[in-house]
Amino acid sequence: MTEKYDVLVVGSGPGGYIAAIRAAQLGLRTAVVERDSLGGICLNWGCIPTKALLHGADVAHTLANPGQLGFTVENVRFDIEQLVAFSRSVSDRLSNGVGYLLRKNGIDLITGTAKLADKGVVDVTGADGAVTRYGADHIILATGARPRSVPGLVPDGDRIWTYFQALVPQELPQSLVVVGSGAIGVEFASLYRDLGTEVTLVELAPQIMPVEDAAVAEHVRSRFEKRGIRVHTGSTVSSAVPSATGVAVTITTPAGPEELTVDRVLVATGIQGNVEDLGLEEVGVETDRGFVVTDEWCRTSAFGIYAIGDVAGGPCLAHKASHEGVLCVEKLAGVAGVRPLDKDYVPGCTYARPQVASLGLTEAQARATGRQIRVGQFDLQASGKALAMGEPDGFVKTIFDVQTGELLGAHMVGPEVTEQIQGFGIARALEATDHDLAEVIFAHPTLSEAMHESVLSALGRPLNM
């Protein structure tokens, strides 16, 4: 055995590198094993580069509609390769930043592919094939996830894409079918439509964005269709046959089959955990449907082995992974006052146009609990700031328990709601009631005033609608 650590983290994504930093802060000798680029999928192929591309799409939208603000824009040209290069430069910069943070905190970086050899023992295979053995009192698996495969829709990296190819297109497709309308599918549908691609969005569930409140999903669908995105719900892609010039697609809809030929198909039907070739079975780590099974402290069924982030199951979000990384390390280190994660209240954000942000229960879920609830809603058509920005489409919806005033759910759709949802998260963490929130002074004019108005609406005393 070459080295012995207190904590060894497998994977350097937003769960892994944060867990390592917190462990080092607590005085634990720590190492991170990474086989690819620092920062994981989120930084290199997910959260960060998609937001860089979506920023380009926002600029495209602004340039396409400058007249209302008095501008005339002519002879605008777009270079997809330059936008992709910008997104990659952002990812590279942040990946280098993760390396700096590891060095700053005295964390060893081990490059290679890790496999559990025994409880407390990890073998790492380097690029040259050499295997080095490491020991650790605590091993944290943070290996992330990858796109889920769908029968009959096998990505070929050319005509049928996963999000990997959608992030680095060599040319802008004229037409695109997006299969799946979770956050990934909706973001890419919005992105490519703003860049000029004809987009068809296909979803098996009765509504797009199946995890969101029904009112939010319906609003987004309406706005998408207004933008020219064709939406099919309760539908499947029954066949997709690629050729040298496109993909022949058959969509099975409630109204019958529809056939069309498009340049590309993007498969965005979810993700599956990276659990293969880790030696999990040999050391007794239980998995279920492609994810590692953990308890509320991120402990697996094998003593001394933990799992955080996407590999441990949903919600598969970077900030959930980071939070789990911290609570996992603090619990194993014996820090007092550590609380388990309430997964129902991890905020979810979708960076499409319009943006969507939510936490807690949908209205249907809240009613299903049998509680008496209060629901408030404020339309951005009555928001001075939203009107001044020329973006008054959207609303804020809040759900409270009548008896206790507890915030059960918050659902937002509209401009920059992803920057505002944390306000409801703070309120929830501090156990603020509906009456408490009603007493908060919100600055005017701001988009966040809609949050206040939604609370007042729930209490039956709205002031601006």
Q: Which residues are catalytic?
A: 444
286/322 Cα distance (integer angstroms) = 22
Residue 357 C-alpha from the chain's centroid: 11
For 234: left if phi > 0, alpha if psi spans -120 to 50, otherwise beta; the answer is left
Helix (H) or strand (E) holding 449: helix 449-458
298/307 Cα distance (integer angstroms) = 6
Give the residue carrying structure tokens 């602004």: 62
Give the residue carrying structure tokens 């390592």: 20
Among the listed residues 13, 10, 11, 18, the one whose alpha carbon sits nearest the alpha carbon of residue 40 = 13
Q: What angle do CA 336, 102, 280 make, to 5 degrees?
A: 70
* DSSP state letters, 238-256: EEEEE-SS-EEEEEEETTE
CB-based contacts of 82, cutoff 8 Å, min separation 6: none
Residue 403 C-alpha from the chain's centroid: 33
CB 89 within 8 A of CB 55: no
First to last CA, the chain: 69
CB-based contacts of 318, cutoff 8 Å, min separation 6: 13, 14, 15, 42, 46, 47
Separation in Å, CA 44 to CA 37, 91, 153, 205, 349: 7, 5, 24, 30, 18
